[in-house]
Chain A
């Protein structure tokens, strides 16, 4: 299981990794990207099994990343979970329309991370 964490905060990426480890959800390798553009480059190298992304980021935000992934035949089936403080119905609806697989709201518990990831990984 190769999991890509996309967040412009290095601290938040570390917190998410810590939480996933605590949750017991098994990850063989964590990859990290600071925005959607970096994430797309890493995903194009292949092997990413699931993406966990923030929404509000510079360069390319989480919704733009999701849209790019869903529009390519090679990446359209990669599960994407959004982890964010953003709670507006408009943004959530937009993400659902684009085909997001799950949402985690900050602040979160390790259990929320583990259960959401387990539910989206096929």
Chain B
């Protein structure tokens, strides 16, 4: 599909994402689109970013939500109402989701990567971009018809 990322790997990302949302929040995630994203077009309100690397390859995964959907997801994880979710809960929860998607992906491919600690970016409509040489792959997912995005890119060191 793309020089840096092979199609079976993308399938693992898809399955890891579905699994985390299903098991941790009881939410069904639908894949809407997968794009090779030449330009950084993704905007979000809260984004978790995590690095994956080994001796030969390094990459990143960013998962970005509009604030209302992010709060709904975290509320589901905690069995609370979205109105009860504080900004700190939101950041912490999206960080955990990012960590678990990357961890579940890593488990599915034989734990070949070391994971960084996730970092969280907040701010209404911020631009999400990953600083690698290869073109990122963009997943557009839907939860109850509301979109969120997963952006990933990998390259050889």
Residues of A within 8 A of B (CB): 9-12, 14-15, 18, 56, 84-89, 105-109
Taking a contact as CB atoms under 8 Å apart, the answer to whether A107 and B77 are in contact is no
- Residue B51, interface by CB 8 Å: no
Residue of B nearest to A109 (CB): B23
Q: How many residues of B contact A (CB 8 A)?
A: 24
Measured in the bound complex, the distance between the Cα atoms of B92 and A12 in whole Å is 8
| Contact status A87-B92, CB under 8 Å | no
**A85 and B78 form a contact (CB under 8 A):** no
B111-A87 in contact (CB<8A): yes
With both beta carbons as reference points, the residue of chain B lying nearest to A112 in the complex is identified as: B23
Partner of B19, one of A11, A85, A89, A107: A107
Give chain A residues whose Cβ lies under 8 Å from the Cβ of B20: 107
Are A106 and B78 in contact, with the CB atoms below 8 A?
no
CA distance A18 to B75 in the complex (A): 12
B104 to chain A: which residues have CB within 8 Å? 85, 106-107
Let me know if A86 and B103 touch, CB within 8 A. Answer: yes
Given A18-B79, A85-B104, A85-B115: A10 touches B92 (CB 8 Å cut-off): yes
**B122 on the interface (CB 8 Å rule)?**
no
In the complex, A86→B107 CA distance in Å? 8
